[in-house]
Amino acid sequence: MNVKEFVEHFNLYVAAGKDNLDRQIQGGYCGDLLSDVMANAPVGCIWLTVQAHQNIVKVAVLREMAAIVLTGGQTPDQETVERATQEGIPILLWSDSAFDLAGRAYSAGIINHPH
């Protein structure tokens, strides 16, 4: 599944990176501690988080993520949107819990593959 299909399937709002929705999703990761995400998120994943500041873009670029999904109704500030768009990282918005979306994504076939 690519990011565009994910957006359409789960009715997400694209807050940034609208031109980069063709990336293939290679798995998923849930986490809000940036050091943990940097160390453990799989390359090419979607990252579910409540963090909405500019540093999430740096982490997503480092891990070559397919997209960041802000959960729980979080929204990024304008600087974060601009930085994500500049770096080509989609930021998607989900109003419910990360737990709920993670379960739905897993059921839809988004799983982490062993390296």
pTM of the model: 0.96
- Evaluate if residue 44 carries a pLDDT over 90: yes
Tell which residue, 8, 6, 4, has the closest CA to residue 21: 4
Side-chain-side CA neighbours of 39 within 13 Å: the count stands at 5
What is the number of H-type helices and E-type strands within the chain?
Answer: 5, 5
Q: Are 58 and 35 in contact (CB under 8 A)?
A: no
Q: What confidence tens digit (pLDDT) does each residue in 5-43 have?
A: 999 999 999 999 999 999 999 999 999 999 999 999 999
- Which domains are assigned to the chain? 3-107 (3.40.1390.20)
Share of the chain above pLDDT 70, in %: 98
